[in-house]
Amino acid sequence: MHIGILTGGGDCPGLNAVIRAVTLSLIHHTGARVTGIRKGFYGLIARQVCTLTADTVDAILHEGGTILGAHNSANPFRWTAQADVPAQDVSHEVLAYARELGLDALIVVGGDGTMAIANRIHQLGLPVVGVPKTIDNDLMHTERTFGFDSAVAIVAESLQRIATTARSHGRVMVVETMGRYAGWIALAGGLAGGAHAIVLPEFAYSPDALAQLCRQRERQQGYTVICVAEGAKAIDGDMVVKARLEHSPDPIRLGGVGELLREQLQSRVASEVRSTQLGHVQRGGAPTAFDAALSTQFGWWAAQLVLRKAFGQMVVLRNSSCTSVPLAEVAGKVRQVPADDQWVQTARSLGVRFGDETLTEAAI
């Protein structure tokens, strides 16, 4: 067998662990040839590949990023090398190159945008197996995506560090996390990091409700820490869009809601309000032990799907065990935080606010 593997979309802790697990599993069980596709689907467009061996992947388990490189705008169905050049469908050239390489199947590691491309590639005739990768934890039908735990650990630590400054200076500190259209990172990170308010895309927030919390804490504790997801929006507002990349599978780049929330709160509270955007530090560095184990498990299961010829499937985690679902059920879809999620219930029971609470008469 000759199997290709690529890492699409953004980088993420645990990608190298998947590459390692796939390569070692296929080589040890079948003596298969494994080819790495460089920079996601761009490698199939630009004909850039490399041979993966047991020696190649021996020491990459705990390395951050991906040894194959990543590309977040290499869509074979809408490809252009320059922003001012019209996009073209080069998918048939991609499939022709895959046949030239002699690939029997392709393992695609990525998020919902990457899975949407992978599903279309599979439908065109190249057998595909998907592996769910995103720090956002927002892919359908899987309890967890690798990279999420690593991001949450960074958010939680950052909140704890910022809380010491907030206490020392009597400030309101707003910390903005990644997460796109889902609030999983902010929710788990905020819960683990002791945030006093967690603002999510799923629950539109009221600046007045959050200001009420801050004023209450001004009188009692003297400081407030707020964790806000980048996709959050006020009741009468929209998500804050930082940029648009029209040729990317996910063209909208969010960012800036933390600073907006700072401005909204500053006129409503006596304390000084500061904002911090964590940004790409959430995606960098080595995976946590949990993510290293999970991504290894995902890579092993992806290899098992290849050996069983169970193509057109994506690995998912259910009840702490791996299984799979059709790519079509995942492609282009987002799993958001439900209102009855136990993390949400836990936070509310501890007095954590989400900004969607009804104002008390005294606050009005």
Residue ranges at the known binding site = 10, 111-114, 134-136, 171, 178-180, 230, 274, 280-283
Q: Exactly one of 11, 55, 58, 136 is catalytic; which is it? A: 136
Please state the three-class secondary structure of 325-360 as a single string. EEHHHCCCCCCCCCCCCHHHHHHHHCCCECCCCCCC
Q: Which residues are annotated as a binding site for Mg(2+)?
A: 112
Neighbours of 364 (CB within 10 A): 7
What the block records as the tokens of 83 is 């922003």
- Taking CA atoms, 90 is separated from 36, 102, 250, 257, in Å, by 20, 19, 18, 37
Phi, psi of 92 (to 5 degrees): -70, -35
Q: Let me know if 136 is a catalytic residue.
A: yes
Cα distance between residue 341 and residue 94, in whole Å: 42
Neighbours of 319 (CB within 10 A): 6
Strands of 2-7's sheet in order across: 49-52, 33-37, 2-7, 105-110, 128-132, 313-318, 321-326
Strands of 197-199's sheet in order across: 197-199, 224-229, 172-177, 273-277
The CA radius of gyration of the chain, in Å to the nearest whole number, is: 22
DSSP string, 117-140: HHHHHHHTT--EEEEEB-TT---T
The SS3 call for residue 252 is strand
Q: Which residues are annotated as a binding site for substrate?
A: 134-136, 171, 178-180, 230, 274, 280-283
What the block records as the tokens of 157 is 């630590």
Helices (H), the chain: 15-30, 42-46, 54-57, 91-101, 112-123, 148-169, 184-193, 207-220, 257-266, 289-307, 342-349
Report the half-sphere exposure of 234 (CA within 13 A, side-chain side): 19
Q: Which sequence positions are flagged as catalytic?
A: 136
